[in-house]
A and B are shown apart, each in its own frame.
Chain A
Amino acid sequence: IYVGSFTEGPGYKDVIERAKSEGRELTKEEKQRLRKEKKQQKKSKEKKDDKASQDGEKQKKPVSSASPAPQPPTQAPTQKGDSVLHLSSPPVSRDCNQSAVSPSAPPAVPAPVPVPASETPPPGDKPAKSKAELKAERRARQEAERASKQGKKGEVGQQVATGKPKAPPSELQPVVKRLPEHIQVDNPEVLKKLAKKLERQQIPLRSDYGYKVSLFSHLHQYSRKAPLTQQLSIPSTVIHPAIVRLGLQYSQGIVAGSNARSVALLHAFKQVIRDYTTPPNEELSRDLVNKLKPYISFLNQCRPLSASMGNAIKYIKKEISNIPSQCKEEEAKSKLLTCIECYINEKIILAAKAIAKSSIEKISDGDVILVYGCSSLVNHILCEAFEKNRKFRVIVVDSRPRLEGREALRRLVQRGISCTYVLISAVSYILPEVSKVFLGAHALLANGYVMSRVGTSQIALVAKAFNVPVLVCCETYKFCERVQTDSFVSNELDDPDDLIVTRKGKTQLEHWQDVTSLGLLNLVYDVTPPDFVDLVITDLGMIPCTSVPVVLRVKNVDQ
């Protein structure tokens, strides 16, 4: 981990030697990062950031030194450095092209490359943050926390800068893909920006609650006892009442589950559209989208948006902007309402039917199916299969604190399916009996990872160990362009007080906030790697996990 030792010109040779001794592992990452940086620098040739250019140059210099015609180090600005690169390092560019096609293929360039000034990859670098980088990040963050923490520090204020030796991102890449706000809660500037934005939209800011476990201090953690409506005026005028109602239902957990949330969201949007009137000098297509923005911020404050909701919102915004300007208001509104109904019908109801049809082929008589938690889609499939007279029995696995399995159990037993109920701690005892595992998904990420309720990856892991096939059922509207390889970077923290339980009149964790060394963590989601998933059943058919980016590409082409 080098701290800005690149500003001096002649020192780079030592750096190369040091880098050589670090080993192969770094080089691959370095090359990937370099390739990206190069692409981004290509995009932003106009910006003359000296330090960045120096750093960039230093990085490229060793690369170019690997190539047959090494160039002497100069303090040239970015442009020159770029041109140097173009001229003298064709192998690197070829590798770049290669890498565009298969991001996981290792580059062929053998030359060692020094670690750049920032040990963390550029913030926009979503694909494949490797384990070493993450460990380094985590270590640095923990060090920063230890240094700056005094007693219990609830919410914000973890100084990112103290322990981290990374150069600010603007120095490295003038054009940076911004990290979403909701995973940068420990950065006070981001929070300030968010507060300003909410103030502009006249939406109250929901404050974080309780001590956050350090690994997750970059995420929001709210308390259910402090709903956002506390700070709103009662006949809510700024936010449409249907949206306030919806936000409240989200934050209290009354509407939970990816499909339910999306349907409820679209229902609320229908009401908003119905009550909307275009102001005199505005166009519906532009103004309605602007009206929806504060509502979406409000809902985000109540509970972070799910991937399915995000896709639904994108769809609606697109539909609204595509309304021709000569269209009359009534006509436009009814068109939008039918669009919403179509969307729900196609993507949720019909998709469920199609998925049920394909899954029934996979369920044979005598099967013992394991399900986890309460997934509306999986329940639907099982009920349909039961209607079609397949003989199977179900094992419902449940976990605290949500205990959603009880609801799944109720729905299945009500239909007459014979079920067994276990907690997740018993999953390895029960797996020898299981013939298939059906899992629901919250979202399917672009690198094939499955994001679902916390505990799903454990089930998939144990199932893999027992050689039991794992089938994930997911509609295509839940496919999301994000990429994640671990559950830390982007997750949701639920109310920590949910973990408190009262047994025999005693509540041991009642005063957990007074214990300085105790933190309660209530995670909501986790990601399952594609190696553990054998098949994904979607409304487009049964695909392997790794074909998700193909589906996304096809969808984008369609639209």
Chain B
Amino acid sequence: MELQAVLMAAGGGSRMTDLTYNTPKAMLPVGNKPLMWYPLNLLERVGFEEVIVITTREVQKMMSSDSKNKLDVKLKLDVVCIQEDGDMGTADALRHIQEKIKTDILVVSCDLITDVALHEVVDLFRAYNATLAMLMSKAHEFTETVPGQKGKKKTAEQRDFVGVDQSGKRLLFMANEADLEDGLSIRKSIVRKHPRMHIKTGLVDAHLYCLKKAVVDFLVDNKSISSIRGELVPYLVRKQFSKTTNSQKIKDDAEDQNQKKSDGPTNNELLISSRDEPLLQLAQERSCWNDHRGDMSEAYHGGKLRCYVHIMDEGPCYRFIIYSFVILGACHLIMFVSLLSFPYQAPKLCEEPAVHPSAVISERCQMGSDSIIGAMCQVADKTSIKRSTIGNSTTVKEKVKVTNSIIMHGVTIEEGCNIQGSVICSNAVIGRGADLKYCLVGNGQRIEAEGE
């Protein structure tokens, strides 16, 4: 088997407490499907047959029981539960399932919505015999206002600096602005090997990683690393240019388990050795290919550890992330994005009609083709629904104008309401004549009639 897929669905969504009050992040409905459905659909389309899902018990219960949230994927899901409140990072989770991992892995986060051609990432992994291959995307500008947002977006401190080489594929440098105290410093050895480096800041990390099995073994030995994105990836990127990985004696060191291990990094773990290393070496020597030119060193500068990144230029790639520190901010951004693009892309991502067949929509309703209506909805006369997502079992009465909004399941909207740019969570009731602009209505809330 070539690759095993691992879906990380245990995240708490700590920055979206309002929305995640009742539903864990993995099950939040986006475009009327639970969030987790999107990465699973991506994996299924590409040809995976089984996925290891790491999640909490709550999500597992929801997955199996709730028909509203059913995940109709044909994949075989191997669900592994971890403690919800435990402080388990993604790397810790990998360590937890270490016995199940037999080959190289593809780690996907549950909050990734994209239609990337996955073979681009995996081809980098295969062709260059890389240790890590990841996916990044150019961030999209959001022009819509986000409901419930208080205060300015503090994006400046959260910039990620990503350095790639001239071809745009090899990952040379990765650091978060928060970790850099007084400036960006790049080691001379990197610059000597790759004199032309492009440093990009506007990239979104999709949290999709292809990792070699040796990395998982390394994680088992090095319990200090707890997060893939936060610690493992920067470590691997730094390690590409570290002097110790290039020497031959490391092989003997690591095989000799009696050696006392220092805190991980120096004692090498990351043995990318296959049993036929000499043959591969011979093939590489005889091959007239080099990944760079201009200096005297051989391909890859003799380094065995390589990290590659595929940067998507176009196409949707969204994550529920860390755009702003504002408590309610983050996911709304994505909700909005989903608003803006979902209706256009939903047919691509989920091959279902935008309007669910069981919805009852009266004739005098004006509904643009850019909206999604869920199952069992009832939309009455003289309503106007533009660029919105309406969840399952929602009732929309007459003369309601819904624009640019997300309305989740089981919501009742009384007559004459005007809802603009808002997010209305499940089971809320909006009273008659209410006028909501850029609001966030929590679960089960009730908005009084004529409210604003």
Contacts and interface: CB of A to CB of B under 8 A. Distances in A.
Contact of A233 (B46, B106, B293, B296): B46
A413 interface: yes
Given A233-B46, A407-B288, A414 B282 contact: no
Interface in B14-68: 46-49
A267 B279 contact: yes
B263 interface: no
Interface residues of B, number: 33
A402 to B, nearest CB: 8
B284 A235 contact: no
A235 B47 contact: yes
Interface stretch (B121-129, B386-394, B419-427): B121-129
Contacts of B284: 255, 260
B287 A229 contact: no
Contacts of A259: 286
B373 to A, nearest CB: 33
B127 A344 contact: no
Tell which of B126, B129, B280, B285 has the most Cβ of chain A within 10 Å. B126
A133 B97 CA distance: 68
A252 B286 contact: no
B290 A244 contact: no
Contact of A410 (B47, B126, B128, B290): B290
A408 B129 CA distance: 23
Contact of A256 (B48, B106, B287): B287
A244 B123 CA distance: 9
Contact of A234 (B119, B293, B296): B119
Classify the secondary structure of A's interface with B.
Answer: helix
A253 B282 CA distance: 16
A433 to B, nearest CB: 25
B141 interface: no
A270 B123 contact: no
Nearest to A377: B286
Nearest to A349: B282
Contacts of A435: none
Interface residues of A, number: 42
A267 B276 CA distance: 7
A537 interface: no
A99 interface: no
A252 B280 CA distance: 17
A245 B127 contact: yes
Of A234, A373, A413, which is in contact with the most chain B CB atoms at under 10 Å from its CB?
Answer: A234
Contacts of A15: none
A291 interface: no
B51 to A, nearest CB: 11
A408 B288 contact: yes
A248 B128 CA distance: 10
Contact of B127 (A236, A254, A267, A373): A254
A422 B260 CA distance: 54
B193 to A, nearest CB: 14
A254 B279 contact: no
Interface in A437-462: none
A263 B279 contact: yes
A255 B126 contact: no
A248 B283 contact: no
Contacts of B286: 257, 259-260, 263, 376
B352 interface: no
Contacts, number: 109
Nearest to A270: B276
Interface on chain B toward A: helix, strand, loop, or mixed SS? mixed
Contacts of B276: 267, 270-271
A230 B117 contact: yes
Interface centre among B117, B129, B280, B289, by most chain A C-beta atoms within 10 angstroms, is: B289
Nearest to A250: B127
A256 B287 CA distance: 5
B289 A255 contact: yes
A245 B133 CA distance: 15
Contacts of A125: none
B150 to A, nearest CB: 43
Contacts of A249: 126-127
B4 interface: yes
A270 B122 CA distance: 23
A530 interface: no
Contacts of A236: 2
A271 B126 CA distance: 15
A266 interface: yes
A245 B126 contact: yes
Contacts of A408: 288
A376 B127 CA distance: 21
Interface string A300-328: 00000000000000000000000000000
30 contacts: A227-B119, A227-B123, A229-B119, A233-B48, A234-B2, A234-B119, A235-B48, A235-B49, A241-B1, A245-B126, A245-B127, A254-B128, A256-B288, A259-B286, A260-B284, A263-B279, A264-B283, A267-B276, A267-B280, A270-B276, A270-B279, A344-B279, A349-B282, A374-B288, A376-B288, A404-B288, A407-B289, A408-B288, A410-B296, A413-B296
Interface of A: 227, 229-230, 232-237, 241, 244-245, 248-249, 252-257, 259-261, 263-264, 266-267, 270-271, 344, 348-349, 373-374, 376, 404, 406-408, 410, 413-414
Given A236-B2, A245-B129, A252-B127, 10 more contacts: A227-B119, A230-B117, A234-B3, A235-B47, A249-B127, A256-B288, A257-B288, A260-B286, A270-B279, A407-B288
The 5 A-B pairs with the shortest beta carbon distances in the complex, nearest first, are A233-B47, A374-B288, A260-B287, A241-B2, A260-B286
